[in-house]
Structure 1
Amino acid sequence: MTLDNPDPRPTRSGDAGQRPGPVLARPGRLLTGLAALTCAGMAVGVGLSMSSGGKAAMVLPLAALGGVAVAVLALTRFAAYVMLMLAVRSCVDLFKLSGPTAGRADVDQASRAADLSTLLAVLFLLAAGLWLAAQVRRDGRLRGSPLGWSLLLVGATGLVSALGANTPTPSLLEALRIITVVLMFVVLEQLMPDTRAVRRFLLACYASLALALGYTLVMSLLGDPPSEVKGSFSRISGPFSQSTTFGRYLMFMVIFGFAIYRYLDRWLRGVMAVLLTLSLVFLLLTNTRGAIIGAALGLLVVAILHRSKRMIVMLCVAAVGGGLLLPTVADRFSQLADDRAVGGDPTGNTLAWRVDYWTQIVTLANHNPVTGIGPNMTQRETDEAKKPHNDFLRAYVETGFVGLLAYLAMMLLSLHTGRLALRRAPPGSFERGIAVGFLGCAVAFVAVSAASNVISNVVTLWYLFAFAAAASTVAYRSGVGTGGAVAPPGARPTP
């Protein structure tokens, strides 16, 4: 991947890198129609399998038929395929066979490998790899950015560490999941040549939010809210297998949504207002303290950069109102005064527990300080059987000094990309909303990563780095607002 300008030949907006032609048009439409028919068959198959009972009976036909449908779409309309993945990924965990996996060392790897999310990840790896190879063969290069290079290093160090792990299978699976995030960013950098394309992919991201909120709202109204019990609290988990994943997903969506809200058309602002209101309510109901604090930090960044005193006041009102109207949230934060021992109940002062746990796991890297013990291996090497709950420490323990340097570079370049996009975005433009939104998300990402397993939530990282790709388009593109081509890093924006 070089950092040169892309081929200046015109391409269809939103289908960057794919040269339209009359020869391929008819077969493409035919195959897309076949994909739609396959989706219809998939729905029938799922309905029949649900009647027989059992989650596996429902998921396996869904995986087989759905895999054929999306594979055909990936081969014929790759940009549409990526948009579809972004739109539906938030609800894929509803069909998870392995159940919650965070912090568990006893997960059946066979069932996890058969999860729909894993199968879609494998399909995405294959489709993205083939598509990127085709772009390199045609143009001789890919559009790139420093953040993209740092992500490639994170993926490479994880893969190398996994090869040397004591239990390679789960470690390699984790490494491949992280590589899907890397490829999503690289692919989206190619597919976002201008603001119109960026808008379409952001629409797909918020379509996923509408699906996730719709499912959670409908199930709640039916008297069976999707939730999990942790300690003394019942916490909303939405379409995800864990409340913490739902909380972090909503954190990024809320921050970015507030940033671009003022630049949307009137009818879109109405839709976004509903989505953001529901998101804030469900974010509080997840009782995920890290995500709530991260959202507050990100929104504060958005308010400051937008110079919005009104938004700061709204944040204060929301904080007070949330504590009064949702007493479980206030109770959750009040538990910071309670002690929790390692191995104890999953409530109380979990920060104190984390610090104690960190001192126990940091020595694991002594076995191999250069490349670490392998991704996803910490919980298999400790009596507590928990992940590190600190992504910086995890990068060191599981991928060594090399992996830690790559991870720190990714963090710093995420902040740099947001700042550069902010500097180059025209005032009062949608591009400025993108820059502000991603910078707020990047600040929240860094803060929450210091005491959480954010890097494990691959589904949330897909959306975070979709926002990053949008910010990269703003940062490294000449002729902002004119649909111009992406400029190489370091190039001056067009006056």
Structure 2
Amino acid sequence: MAAPLAPMVIADARRFVEWGGLLVAILVPLAFNPLDANAFEPLKAALFQTITLLMILAALAPQVARLRSAVPQASGSSSVGPQANDLRYLFYAAAILLATVFSVDVRRSLWTARPTADGTLTLLSGVIFCWLLGQTLTTRRQVLRLTLALVIGSVPVTIYGLLQATGLDPLVWISDSVSPVLSTVGRSNYLAAYLVMVMPFTLALWQSGQDGQPARRFGLLFALQLTCLLLTLARAAWLGLLIGGLLAGLALAQRGGAFAQDSRRRGLWLAGGLAACLVGVGLLYAMSTSALVQPSAYGMRPVVYAKLRADSAAARLIFWRVSLRLLDGRWLLGYGPGTFGSLVATVQPAELTAAGPAASLLDDPHNLLLDRLLQTGMVGLLAYLALLLTTARRWLLAWRGSADRQALFILAATLAAMTAFLVQAQATPNVVTTDALFWVMMALAAGAT
């Protein structure tokens, strides 16, 4: 009875790894602890790390079962394990470990107290999670399940954000953001980044529907998500959604026969997309000059609001200049994961001190590429970019090989969501929710191949 054990364990292992992906998509955005002074990031990071650890144990189970049953792996059999094209995951993981070994503070790198998505354990969890989940997504049904998990998980997040906008939130949150809409993500711009990553999938499920008919329930959810996004007043996320949506729209237009039955309907799609872009650009401008609702609801006059938005953009330029200057002498391996906040506090650059108390609390360069460069150096940044290029290549292979309407919409949504994340991440701190979802989408792109 020992011989059949290994195939059964392999099937169970793949199922558990897939469940891990579903749990991350649903639970990480929702998790928070209102009794903690830092109610969001520590719990989300611990949850993400724990789920990844369970996925690792599940992936190791077939190897243990095979050794115990003394049955060699059959030629062509499938299991969760290393593949030849996965070396870029290994390179990035090795770069993270190397940066940790040569960190200016190894203990802080391993057990960072900083409330964002850095630290060796969180960074390694993302790489391993994406690698395992990407190998497990081998069927269309699995891809659809993960897409549904992303969309369904956004329902309570969106509803809670809308309740906050109406003043019905029973909890009292303290935030220096221009918008009080932070939901379960922790801050309005973090919530916006999350929304622009899930909205393309909601739109894809709405438009692909069943039997060629749009699924109206997803259309209603998309309208609620869009409203919540507008109430966050987050310009970087909104810009990311516009650029991501434009790229996805162009990709779908190139494959027009898959979603438009005739040239007239295709023309309507293109006209609607152009109109949406124009409206989006207008709203982006409005977010810099007006709160889009009564300014008194945010406790500030329009003139004060406009100055605050201008100061916010100017502060980011200061953050980027300071971050670039800190690279001197540490450009190869960086300062180590999770060390940026303590480093800035020690150095106290004159520009930050002159910019006021908000800038003095800087613990993130507000730019994803600078963040990776400072944490893991040029070695880590190049390994990270190589991983992104591999994902883009896999997405392109899947796009060229797909002809099914629903598959094309999901692939287009993946393109839009990943683009939106990368665009907004160049001006927004990286946090666990968006970082974990980006790894989910990287796995989606790999699994779709």
TM-score class, shorter: 0.7 to 0.9
In the alignment, what sits opposite 1:437?
413
Give runs of aligned pairs for residues 138-287 of structure 1, distance below 5 A: 138=66, 142=81, 144=83, 146=85, 149-173=87-111, 174-220=119-165, 223-224=168-169, 229-230=175-176, 233-265=178-210, 269-287=215-233
Residues in 2 aligned to 1:145 and 1:217: alpha-carbon distance in whole angstroms: 46
- Classify 1:314/1:338 alpha carbon distance in 2 versus 1 (closer, same or farther; 3 Å): closer
The answer (yes or no) to whether the contact 1:247–1:286 under 8 Å persists in 2 is yes
Paired residues of 1:255 and 1:302 also in contact (CA < 8 A): no
Report the CA distance shift for 1:19/1:283 in structure 2 as closer, same or farther (over 3 A).
closer
Distance 1:82 1:359, change over 3 A: closer
- The answer to whether residue 436 in structure 2 is matched with residue 471 in structure 1 is no
2:245 to 285, 293, 299: 299
The Cα shift of 1:356 comes to 2.9
Structural mapping, 1:398-477, within 5 Å: 398-426=375-403, 428-453=404-429, 456-475=430-449
1:124 aligns with 2:77: no
Q: Residue 93 of structure 1: SS of its match in structure 2? A: coil
Residues 465, 357 of structure 1: alpha-carbon distance in 2 compared, 3 angstrom cutoff? closer
RMSD: 3.7
Give the structure-2-normalised TM-score. Answer: 0.74
Q: 1:18 aligns with which of 6, 11, 16?
A: 11
Identity score, percent: 20
Q: 1:84 aligns with which of 23, 26, 30?
A: 23
Q: Give, in angstroms, the shift of residue 352 of structure 1.
A: 3.4
- Is 2:368–2:425's contact at 8 Å kept on the other side of the alignment? yes
Match of 1:328 in 2: 291
Q: What is the CA-CA distance between 1:373 and the residue it aligns to?
A: 0.3
* Cα distance between partner residues in 2 of 1:262 and 1:214: 22
5+ unaligned residues in a row in structure 2: which ranges? Answer: 67-72, 74-78, 112-118, 254-268, 349-359
The structure with higher relative contact order (CA 8 Å, sep 6+) is 2
Please say if residues 206 and 216 of structure 2, whose CA atoms lie closer than 8 Å, have aligned partners that are also in contact: no
TM-score w.r.t. length of structure 1: 0.68
- In structure 2, distance between residues paired with 1:404 and 1:124: 26
Structure 1: 5+ residue stretches without partners = 1-8, 21-73, 102-111, 340-345, 476-495
In 2, Cα distance between the equivalents of 1:208 and 1:256? 12
CA contact (8 A) 1:94 1:240 kept: no
The DSSP-based 3-state class of the residue aligned with 1:312 is helix
Distance in 2 between the 1:169 and 1:445 partners? 30
Secondary structure in 2 matching 1:295: helix
| Corresponding pairs, count | 386
- The 8 Å contact of residues 244 and 417 in structure 2, kept in 1 or not, is answered as yes
Q: 2:60 aligns with which of 129, 133, 138?
A: 133
